C-alpha cells in the first residue's frame, strides 16, 4: 500500500510541475516569440501613448465618437469584474436599462429601430466590437458632430468591417476603438 501512495504522490508532483509550470512557461515563451503583439494583449498606442487594447472594449461617450456596446462589467469595461448582468428577459431592471439606452441613442424619438447590440450588454461585458448595423446607425450623429459628410463616415465604417473568420465563424463586426482612432486621424472633433 505504501508503494502505491508514494507512486501516486510522485505522479502528482511530476504532473503538477510539468503541466502547471513547464508547459505554461513554454507556451508563453513561444507566444512571445511568434505572436509578440497578441501575447502582449494586442495593445494599441497612438503617439507613443497607450490608448487601449484591440481585445477589450472601452467607453466612448462623446457625440463625435462611435459608442460601444453597454457594459455590465463593474463600472464599465472593468476586466476584473467581467460578466453580464444575468437579468432574465422578464426582469424589470433589464427593461429599464434597455429603455434608457434606447432613449439615449434615439432622443428625438425617430422610428428607426436601435440595433440590439447598442441596447444590451454582452455576456462578458468587455466586447470591443459592435455590429455593422450598430456602427451605421451612429453615422448621422458622428458626421454632424465632426462636420463631415455622412457618406465619408459611412465609407470609413465600411473599411472597418471585419468579416466572419474563415467565412463562417462569428459575425461581421466593427472594432470601436480602431474606428474611433481612424476617425480622429481623418476628421478631428471640432472644438466648440
Q: What is the pLDDT of residues 99-139, one digit of tens each?
A: 777 777 775 555 678 888 888 877 777 788 899 999 999 89
Q: 137 and 109 in one domain?
A: yes
In a domain, 191, yes or no: no
Q: 152 and 87 in one domain?
A: yes
Q: Which domain holds residue 126?
A: 42-186
Q: 92 and 81 in one domain?
A: yes
Instruction: Output the pLDDT for position 172.
Output: 93
Question: Quick one: pLDDT band at residue 85, thresholds 50, 70, 90?
Answer: low
Q: What are the b/e assignments for 157-173, b being 16+ CB within 10 Å?
A: beebeeeeeeeeeeeeb
Q: 10 and 90 in one domain?
A: no
Instruction: Output the pLDDT for position 75.
Output: 67
In a domain, 192, yes or no: no
Tens digit of pLDDT for each residue in 30-76?
Answer: 999 999 888 887 888 888 888 888 788 888 878 889 988 887 776 66
Q: 152 and 75 in one domain?
A: yes
Q: 180 and 98 in one domain?
A: yes
Q: 76 and 26 in one domain?
A: no
CA–CA distance, 135 with 159 (Å, rounded to integer)? 12
What's the pTM?
0.74
Work out the number of other CB atoms within 10 angstroms of the CB of residue 151: 10
Q: 51 and 19 in one domain?
A: no
Q: 103 and 8 in one domain?
A: no
- Report how many domains make up the chain: 2
Amino acid at each position: 500500500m505504501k508503494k502505491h501512495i508514494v507512486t501516486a504522490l510522485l505522479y502528482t508532483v511530476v504532473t503538477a510541475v510539468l503541466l502547471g509550470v513547464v508547459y505554461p512557461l513554454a507556451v508563453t515563451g513561444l507566444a512571445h516569440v511568434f505572436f509578440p503583439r497578441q501575447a502582449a494583449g494586442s495593445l494599441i498606442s497612438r503617439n507613443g501613448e497607450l490608448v487601449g487594447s484591440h481585445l477589450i472594449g472601452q467607453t466612448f461617450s462623446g457625440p463625435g465618437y462611435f459608442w460601444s456596446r453597454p457594459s455590465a462589467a463593474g463600472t464599465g469595461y472593468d476586466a476584473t469584474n467581467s460578466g453580464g448582468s444575468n437579468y432574465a428577459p422578464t426582469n424589470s431592471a433589464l427593461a429599464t436599462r434597455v429603455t434608457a439606452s434606447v432613449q439615449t441613442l434615439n432622443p428625438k424619438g425617430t422610428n428607426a429601430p436601435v440595433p440590439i447590440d447598442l441596447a444590451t450588454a454582452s455576456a462578458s461585458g468587455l466586447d470591443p466590437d459592435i455590429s455593422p448595423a450598430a456602427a451605421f446607425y451612429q453615422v448621422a450623429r458622428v458626421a454632424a458632430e465632426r462636420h463631415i459628410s455622412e457618406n465619408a463616415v459611412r465609407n470609413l465604417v465600411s473599411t472597418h468591417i471585419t468579416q466572419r473568420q474563415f467565412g463562417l465563424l462569428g459575425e461581421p463586426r466593427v472594432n470601436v476603438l480602431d474606428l474611433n482612432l481612424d476617425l480622429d486621424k481623418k476628421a478631428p472633433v471640432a472644438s466648440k
